[in-house]
Chains A and B, each alone.
Chain A
């Protein structure tokens, strides 16, 4: 069947298996080259394999929870949305969350996802106590920092290339309410937003929406959004009486594939509105519910269709702190020069690096998306080159088009990962992405 990632590019004809238990899963493994697929929120071709793509969503049971330490054990196909729906009303929240709740826990481990708290708390992998991994021949290994430690480290951020994650034990964090106290700070240019990130290292959550269209003195103007889980005494009296209750909101859906021209204007207007609203002194603090704060895009189902049938491409790199200012300036200049606006442009400060192939490292990450076209493809080649020149690297969960040589140059760990896969005979776990990147 034809499948695609969230970016809708590429689209490939793959044989898809949807096993319901381990026995059926083992049978699917016998088919040769294969890759696990979670909820398909990776943007490109990371969760596709023409020969055998294994849909893990039938493995969706929650298995155990320990109230004392917040450890939750789930099957890998459980959705983050279900974890939140079950545990937020009891006062627990995921320790790290990506910008959508429609991801599986297996996908979160495989991409070692980061959230708005990366600078403080690191990636999702830091909160994983152990996982069960089905390897090449169908045996299941318990992996943790103590047991099969090397395989554990490579599996976190390993993009499904070490085996099929079956079960994951990870820690939730305690929260007092379902609300976030958000502060929005406008920044006039790139220098200012970076200074603000650094001045606000203590904030739990921080992320900036950056304007990629404005050039000149105001290049890099941004709106920095800080967030803290609201304590009960920060809530209004009504909310305090039921701190985990959030009134339901309507869910909208993008009805048809939109034409591409509509987008840029929409983005610019929305950005300007946010920026100017918060530029007034003291205007920037508000209390918002968890869903609006962490997952604003989830309120619009299938929003990826705004890019039309040809789909779009994400670009996400991280630049080391020392080279960040210069590198980001060069990236923004290249984007402005190309005249290609990005609908969502996100800048974030990152903390230290984890092991394996985990993407984040200390510095700044910039995430952009562009509608699919020849022009944007050549712009992305340009952005790759700038990233390489500044010692940066790329996020595989977003990639759909990078060249193998680019990955090798950006990340010396790629060679070690490929060698490890050969040594441990893990070569049959491969995705269209890993084939393209020669991993």
Chain B
């Protein structure tokens, strides 16, 4: 099997590291991009040693759109698969009160990921092949009082990926949207998560890896979430507005 390189954007997240391990185990070279990427050198060494693949580290801030072109030019090769894992949950109450905080959440979950995946998509389209995987969230399926700033940004990213998929489906480029439910990571550390609805990062990575191989379009890592969100989306707004979900 040829080691098709995989680019992981936001590589320091737990889900990203789990993805890196999964792809490396299957023999893929890795390009790990993150801000404050110095700390990733050890992870790259570990992946390379354990799995006998090449792993490179690249500095990238998702809020710095001007750097995206040079960043892509600096990669050892244009990857076969690019996965964007970047996201910021923020605190809803703070986002409501402080526009600067809300801006950060909106830009980190929507603007940055959308612009960068868009540029990568153009290069993949030119080459005529490639897989783009965007990690969005079930929070984007319907705005809720508890996290609608984050949720609306994710909704934007979900819509962006859907459009991209539509545009590129005849150009050999596959786009997959991932809508994880709860995942036990740094983002959710300390939260009281319902066990049946919560996945471990390694399980999320496995789910993404398998689904990408089957060229699925939209996945809810844990199948139960598809059901949950179908119900949540079906509730009439008149009733929904009075609930606290």
Contacts and interface: CB of A to CB of B under 8 A. Distances in A.
Interface in B40-58: 42-43, 45-46, 49-50
Contacts of B50: 62, 82, 86
A63 B39 contact: no
Nearest to A23: B39
Nearest to A21: B39
A131 to B, nearest CB: 16
Nearest to A85: B50
A65 interface: yes
A62 B49 contact: yes
Interface in B125-184: none
A321 to B, nearest CB: 42
Interface string A406-436: 0000000000000000000000000000000
Interface string A2-24: 00000000000000000011000
Contacts of B45: 61-64
Given A61-B46, A63-B45, A86-B50, 16 more contacts: A20-B186, A21-B39, A61-B42, A61-B43, A61-B45, A62-B49, A62-B50, A63-B42, A63-B46, A63-B49, A64-B45, A64-B49, A65-B49, A75-B42, A82-B50, A86-B49
Contacts of B42: 61, 63, 75
13 contacts: A20-B186, A61-B45, A61-B46, A62-B45, A62-B49, A62-B50, A63-B42, A63-B46, A64-B45, A64-B49, A75-B42, A86-B49, A86-B50
Interface string B94-106: 0000000000000
Nearest to B186: A20
Contacts of B49: 62-65, 86
Interface of A: 20-21, 61-65, 75, 82, 86
Nearest to A22: B39
Contacts of A82: 50
A20 B42 CA distance: 13
B83 to A, nearest CB: 21
Interface string B22-43: 0000000000000000010011
Interface residues of B, number: 8
B46 A62 contact: yes
Counting from the closest, the 8 A-B pairs by CB-CB distance are A61-B46, A62-B49, A61-B42, A62-B46, A86-B50, A63-B45, A65-B49, A63-B42
Contacts of A62: 45-46, 49-50
Nearest to B45: A63
A22 to B, nearest CB: 10
Contacts of A75: 42
Contacts of A63: 42, 45-46, 49
A334 to B, nearest CB: 48
A64 B49 CA distance: 7
A228 B43 CA distance: 35
A66 to B, nearest CB: 11
A43 to B, nearest CB: 29
Interface in B177-198: 186
Interface centre among A21, A61, A65 (most CB of B within 10 A): A61
B185 to A, nearest CB: 11
Contacts of B43: 61
Interface centre among B39, B45, B186 (most CB of A within 10 A): B45
A63 B47 CA distance: 9
A63 B39 CA distance: 12
A21 B42 CA distance: 11
Interface string B43-81: 101100110000000000000000000000000000000
A63 B42 CA distance: 6
Contacts of A65: 49
A86 B43 CA distance: 15
B73 to A, nearest CB: 29
A403 B36 CA distance: 50
A75 B42 CA distance: 9
A233 to B, nearest CB: 27
Nearest to A167: B42
Contacts of A20: 186
A61 B49 CA distance: 9
Interface centre among B39, B43, B49 (most CB of A within 10 A): B49
Contacts of A86: 49-50
B19 to A, nearest CB: 16
A41 B172 CA distance: 52
A61 B47 CA distance: 8
Contacts of B46: 61-63
Nearest to B43: A61
A62 B50 CA distance: 8
B47 to A, nearest CB: 9
A16 to B, nearest CB: 14
A373 B49 CA distance: 47
A21 B38 CA distance: 13
Nearest to A89: B52
A335 B162 CA distance: 73
A63 B40 CA distance: 11
A211 to B, nearest CB: 42
Interface string B12-24: 0000000000000
A313 to B, nearest CB: 35
A75 B46 CA distance: 10
A87 to B, nearest CB: 9
A296 B138 CA distance: 46
A64 B42 CA distance: 9
Nearest to A90: B52
B51 to A, nearest CB: 9
A86 B45 CA distance: 13
A159 to B, nearest CB: 27
Contacts of B39: 21
Contacts of A64: 45, 49
A83 B190 CA distance: 32
A62 B52 CA distance: 12
B53 to A, nearest CB: 13
A62 B45 CA distance: 7
B26 to A, nearest CB: 16
A110 to B, nearest CB: 22
